[in-house]
Structure 1
Amino acid sequence: MKNLFNLQGKVAVVTGGSRGIGAMIARGFVENGVKTYITARKLEELEATARELSEYGECIAVASDLSSLEGVTAFAKAIQEKEDKVDILVNNAGATWGAPIDEFPEAGWDKVMDLNVKSLFFLTQQLLPALRNAGNQEDPARVINIGSINGLFNPNMTNYSYSASKAAVIHLTKHLAADLVKDCINVNGIAPGLFPSKMTAYALEGHEEEAGKTIPRGRIGSAEDAAGTAIYLSARASAWVTGHTIVLDGGHCASAH
């Protein structure tokens, strides 16, 4: 029972790993002995994060643009040229868009759906050989899809394509889990509430403490919260858990009226 959360020696891929929740999860992996590949579109920011995380362990930057199938294919190929096994895939890369319903553009719909849902599916598909090579009955490979509480209830914002995409991610997580369990691959999700990130910067704007008071646990999410949940879903402790999405929101959804 002492090694239930041991990840030493595993290989992980974290998309959208240069900042926000992706970087939080990546750091948790790196500090716990996981060789971690992070990817994002902006090379300078990505490499800066990789240098920072490399102080704690092994973190490797591989730039990509996952907004197109061509970009997904190129990234999957780059990873599989470096690794024949991938123990953990964290599908975190995402985008959002907000506009009044009468003005919401097709471009804002397609951009969000393509990155948040389409690229998640096809990256998982294209990394299946490496995931299958890593998993076994005792310790399956893991896919962790990052959803949002916006996919569970009305966010009362004009982010229509975002909330729809995250609802799709939560359902797709169940569907993939059912199909991939025979391949010794567990697929689960995390639906975060309010965390500090580029997406939430407009709402927080230095008012993290005030925003935290609106959450039952009395604060916004931290790096430890994101990393701890991802570590659980990647470790032996969760080997019998698949097809579920953990709501990581400090009690927000449970207390919503």
Structure 2
Amino acid sequence: MSTPDVSINTLYNVKGKIALVTGGSTGIGKMIASGFAQNGCKVYIASRKEDSLKEFRKAVAEIRQKATAPVEYIVANVASKAGCDALIAEFKKRESKLHILVNNSGVSWGGRYEDFPEEKGWDNVFAINVKSIFYMTAGLTDLLVKDSDSYDPGRVINISSTASIGPHSEHDLSAPGNGTWSYQPSKAAVNHLTSQLAVKLGPRHVTVNAILPGVFPSRMTAFGFKQVGEEKFNSHQPTGRFGTTQDMAGLALFLVSPASAHVTGAHIVIDGGARYESRAPASSSPKL
């Protein structure tokens, strides 16, 4: 029996794949979309209509600069099932197959423990962070399973957070006296939903994995960086720095390449070891 081809070009080949990344115009979503686009994936990024369309188009233009395949965008809001259904319907107008779905859209809310708001604090956070993952994945399953097999499965990546495994809700990414009381449990739910979907879709040749980032530069972390400074965050990092595009793109590419065809139901932490830091605030701060 001859030795199989395990060269880098084969193991990490994603050329010709079609990917949809929700929340793909900023932060971690943009990092992942850039990694896919530069390695031959046709990428669709989706973002809310409430965001500046000018900024959205600018992000697409930036990704296209180094892309080796088309990069398109769809304006959508996944905060409701109707919004998810609209995004799914628009995508299906354009494509008959989906190889990669990245459920990245996420939101946080900080508030006082004594009067944490229900609608914005709990309902909206769980709608976007958890419910959208279920509705997007279920609604696109028919495209993910099409022509998939155990060696070339469809791929789903859910973006969770190290906040899902840390109990600290009051930290440097929220204003003094406030806590992100709903964010942590919403991301813990993402982890469990990832396991549920992995069990459901495994027999249909679709892998489902979760990435649990620590601190990466984004809209969510911008407040904390401004409030306490990047140096304080870095002081809690064993690696001495926060996450970068290379870090996130590298992991995401692994999870959608032939190298990970036998990996499903995994919850992969990428935080530079910060979860082992003894101090709670910055080391356990949510990502995104």
**Both structures adopt the same fold (TM-score exceeding 0.5):** yes
Percent identity between the aligned chains?
42
Moved more, 206-215 or 114-123: 206-215
Displacement of 1:101 after TM fit? 1.3
Partner of 2:39: 32
Q: Counterparts in 2 of 1:125-204, with a 5 A limit?
A: 125-157=138-170, 158-204=179-225
| Distance in 1 of aligned mates of 2:247 and 2:275 | 16
d(CA) in 2 for partners of 1:201, 1:126: 33
**Which amino acid in structure 2 is aligned with residue 85 of structure 1?**
K
- How far apart are the structure 2 equivalents of 1:92 and 1:191? 11
Q: Distance in 2 between matches of 1:170 and 1:51?
A: 32
Structure 1: which 5+ runs fail to align?
none
Q: Is the 8 A contact 2:169 2:184 kept in 1?
A: no
Counterpart for residue 78 of structure 1: 90
Q: Distance in 2 between matches of 1:250 and 1:149?
A: 11
Q: What is the TM-score of this pair, normalised by structure 1?
A: 0.97
CA contact (8 A) 1:39 1:46 kept: no
**Are residues 1:213 and 2:226 paired?**
no
Deviation at 1:156, TM superposition (A): 3.7
Matched, 1:121 2:121: no
Q: Distance in 1 between matches of 2:234 and 2:102?
A: 26
Q: Which runs of 5+ in 2 are unaligned?
A: 1-5, 171-178, 280-288
Change (3 A) 1:248 1:184: same
Tell me the distance in 2 between the aligned counterparts of 1:123 and 1:114.
12
Say whether the 8 Å CA contact 1:136–1:184 is kept in structure 2: yes
Residue deviations 1:62-109 (CA, integer Å, cap 9, x gap):
110111111100100111111111111000001100111111010111
**Deviation of the 1:50 alpha carbon:** 1.0
Work out which of the residue numbers 226, 240, 251 in structure 1 matches 2:273: 251
**CA shift at 1:211, angstroms?**
1.6
The CA RMSD over aligned residues, in Å, is 1.3
Matched, 1:99 2:111: yes
For residues 168 and 15 of structure 2, what CA distance do their matches in structure 1 show?
38
How far the C-alpha of 1:256 sits from its partner, in A, is 4.3
Whether contact under 8 Å (1:148, 1:191) holds in the other structure is yes
